[in-house]
Amino acid sequence: MTEKIIVHPKESYRKRYSIRKSTKSSKYHEVTIPYEVIEKQARAHNMSVEEFVENFDVEYLFNSFLGVHLNFVRKDENER
């Protein structure tokens, strides 16, 4: 099942970041997640930003739609 995400530019943050290779020989690339995204997720979980970063991982969903969707998953749930 494909999830439809509708973006309203007036209600969203717009930031552009460079893509960088994680290492010279790596197949992975890195990009920065804006602070506001993490801050909003931390507030939604009644945590400080530091607590949120310590307790959550980022899960990328891709391949069935154009673009990438981020999920934030508790580390203890991710280890199951």
pLDDT in tens, 7-56: 777 777 777 878 888 888 888 888 889 899 999 999 999 999 999 999 99
Q: Exposed, middle or buried, 15 (CB in 10 Å: 0-12/13-18/19+)?
A: exposed
Residue 8 domain-assigned?
A: no
Nearest to 45 by CA among 75, 74, 79, 80: 74
Residue 1 domain-assigned?
A: no
- Residue 63: give the domain boundaries: 21-78
Residue 38 domain-assigned?
A: yes
Residue 13 domain-assigned?
A: no
Residue 60 domain-assigned?
A: yes
Residue 12 domain-assigned?
A: no
Above 50 in pLDDT, residue 58?
yes
Residue 6 domain-assigned?
A: no
Q: Exposed, middle or buried, 58 (CB in 10 Å: 0-12/13-18/19+)?
A: middle
| pLDDT digit string, tens, across residues 59-73 | 888 887 777 888 899
Structure confidence at residue 51 (pLDDT): 97
Cβ neighbours for 39, distance < 8 A, ≥ 6 positions apart: 49
Structure confidence at residue 80 (pLDDT): 46
Structural domains in the chain (count): 1
Residue 69 domain-assigned?
A: yes
Q: What is the DSSP string of 18-43?
A: --EESSTT-S-EE-PPPHHHHHHHHH
Interatomic CA distance for residues 71 and 3, integer angstroms: 13
